[in-house]
Chain A
Amino acid sequence: MQEIRFHGRGGQGTVLASISLAKAFFEAGWEVQTFPLFGVERRGAPVEAYLRIAHEKIRLRSGVYNPDHIVVMDAKLIGAIDVTRGLKPGGWILVNSAVQPEIELAAGDFRLAWVDATGIAVAHRLGTRTHPIINTAVLGAFARTFGMPELAHIETAVRQEVPVKKEENVAAARAAYDRVHFLKGEEA
């Protein structure tokens, strides 16, 4: 079983990203479980969502404390909250950022990747310039970073989940897949 924690802000589609990714993994034949941070969500406030994937039925029903990997939807959360808390050594951190994000962790404790999901969302006219809808781009970058699920399964999930501009969202996921940056030598 692998556990992934998403960090974002209320209104950014963080929970929806986790649900869409769960559906993509399910399409690819995985057992899945996803849930938001149990509580009250407010626009702009930090939110979390969690995803478990496994090849057998997932029985564990408690919080995620030691995730295998982390996805950060907003680079400005780094430093404001401890986005790497509990991360297992060697896990991926995928950040939505136009530049290399600064994360304080000893080298070798994690693998870093980033993608300009905001820029890609704006270029595909998803949301507005001030409030772009970035989650489908993040999903494309996830598939590239982790080598799973296949982009085709992300595309299926995006078409199912996104109510409007389905093809633009699929195009954003594809574009992000091709534009993931890796810290040198760490490419998957």
Chain B
Amino acid sequence: MRQVLEGSHAISEAVRLAKVQVVAGYPITPQTHIIEAISQHCADGSLKARFIPVESEHSSMAAVIGAAATGVRTFTATSSHGLALMHEVLHWASAARLPIVMGEVNRALGPGWNIWMDQSDSLAQRDTGWIQLYCEDAQDALDTTLIAFRLAETVNLPAMVVIDAFYVSHTFEPVDVPDQETVDRFLPPLEPRFRIDVDHPQALYPMVGPAFFMEMRRSIQDGMEAAGPAFDAIAGEFESVFGRRHSAVETVGCEDADLVLVTTGSVTSTARLVVAQQREQGKRVGLCKIKQFRPFPAEMIRAVLGSAPRVAVIDRNVSFGSGGIFAREIQGALCPLEQRPAVYSYIAGLGGRDITPETIAEVLRLAEETPAPEAESRWVGLNPDVKP
């Protein structure tokens, strides 16, 4: 049924419908609403899960790792410094091949102390072996969370469902919340391939020397590579059950485009308007939304962007000393092509600075006017009067 829901609560509703069995959580703005609503679901019995309040995010990840090792469905959520504190155990979750799902609300890290939208927190965890899925709005967040459980449990890797601070997390809008029977058809109970079982004692997570370690790492890479096709298959099933289509890479009008704009997260939503307006004005502009960051959908990127003359990427993040992270990944993915588009990299909207339709139009204008892209990422919307 369609109802007006906050983006955070769209994830909480998905967790309830997924019949998660153990949830651990620690509050941090702007994530708190997700865990708050889940603890309410646990208290009123609408979710029959064990809720474990903990004293830090490191502990909340450790708690769901322990729970997941016993073969139950688990969830936690965090943001920013909380995610950074989890870093060590994020590696553990993926190396132990545990299908944990985590809600992650993109927020900057301080100092300067900042609670607003910025992708630096999740992208800093790109090498931890977690699947990362970025969402555009509240419906996307609910759907992606359901897909994430199927995906994580299919390839035995943990998955992060990422939403924008405030632009999605604190924004109320109509969301189609499916009924339990429909969700049960899509998401059956977890059948773990291995689990701690006191009746069948075994050793888990021992020391592994050079003779075996590389093969274990290769198996994680294989799992990640399998996650790409698995996402497509699961999204196909999702569409047949719920009627909504999701893809690792979504395109709008890219086939004949002179310039393709690449976006992630909630910027995609605003960009749809801008691109449609420019199309009406006769400009051949396309839009490419990247949902799946890990595994990076390189093959799809080559198929979608390979024939475009120009590509402009908006990054709401920066890797200091390199540039916009999505732009760098896209440049890497396009590298094997003999003929490849010029990739223009733009950094905008850090620490919650608004990305308005004017910001997006400015990015498109800059890409159109610049004959060849600079090597460095270009920062859009800097105030020349502010001297740090």
Interface residues of A, Cβ cutoff 8 Å to B = 19, 22-23, 26, 31-36, 38-40, 58-63, 65
Contact = CB atoms under 8 A, between A and B. Distances in A.
Contact of B273 (A22, A32, A38, A60): A60
21 contacts: A26-B4, A33-B172, A33-B173, A34-B4, A34-B171, A34-B173, A38-B166, A38-B170, A39-B115, A40-B29, A40-B115, A59-B270, A61-B168, A61-B171, A61-B269, A61-B270, A62-B354, A62-B355, A63-B354, A63-B356, A65-B356
Contact of A22 (B4, B137, B272, B355): B4
Interface residues of B, number: 26
Contacts of A33: 171-173
A7 B272 CA distance: 30
Contacts of A19: 4, 172
Contact of B172 (A22, A59, A60, A65): A22
B357 interface: yes
B277 to A, nearest CB: 11
A22 B171 CA distance: 11
A31 B170 contact: no
A26 B174 contact: yes
Contacts of B267: 61
B272 to A, nearest CB: 5
B29 to A, nearest CB: 8
Contacts of A23: 4
Contact of B173 (A58, A62, A65): A58
A45 to B, nearest CB: 16
B81 to A, nearest CB: 16
A62 B172 contact: no
Nearest to B272: A59
A6 B367 CA distance: 38
A58 B171 CA distance: 12
Given A22-B4, A32-B4, A38-B166, A62 B171 contact: no
Given A22-B172, A31-B174, A36-B170, A62 B4 contact: no
B174 A62 contact: no
A60 B277 CA distance: 13
B270 A62 contact: yes
Given A26-B4, A38-B116, A61 B167 contact: yes
A19 to B, nearest CB: 6
B266 interface: yes
Nearest to A18: B172
Interface in B163-213: 165-168, 170-174
The 6 closest A-B pairs by CB, nearest first: A38-B166, A35-B171, A62-B356, A61-B269, A61-B266, A34-B172
Contacts of B137: 61
B352 interface: yes
Contacts of A62: 270, 354-357
B380 to A, nearest CB: 14
A35 B33 CA distance: 14
B362 to A, nearest CB: 13
Interface string B249-278: 000000000000000001101101100000
A60 B269 contact: yes
Given A26-B4, A26-B174, A34-B172, A59 B269 contact: yes
B188 to A, nearest CB: 32
B121 to A, nearest CB: 17
Contacts of B356: 62-63, 65
A51 to B, nearest CB: 9
Contacts of A35: 166-167, 170-172
A36 to B, nearest CB: 6
Contacts of A22: 4, 172
A23 B116 CA distance: 26
Given A22-B172, A34-B172, A63-B354, 11 more contacts: A19-B4, A31-B174, A32-B4, A33-B173, A34-B4, A34-B173, A38-B116, A40-B115, A58-B173, A61-B270, A62-B356
B169 to A, nearest CB: 9
A59 B115 contact: no
B51 to A, nearest CB: 22
A32 B352 contact: no
Contacts of B167: 35, 61
A149 to B, nearest CB: 13
B354 to A, nearest CB: 5
A31 to B, nearest CB: 7
A49 B171 CA distance: 10
Given A35-B172, A38-B166, A60 B4 contact: no
Given A22-B4, A23-B4, A38-B352, A60 B170 contact: no
Contacts of A58: 173
A30 to B, nearest CB: 9
B320 to A, nearest CB: 25
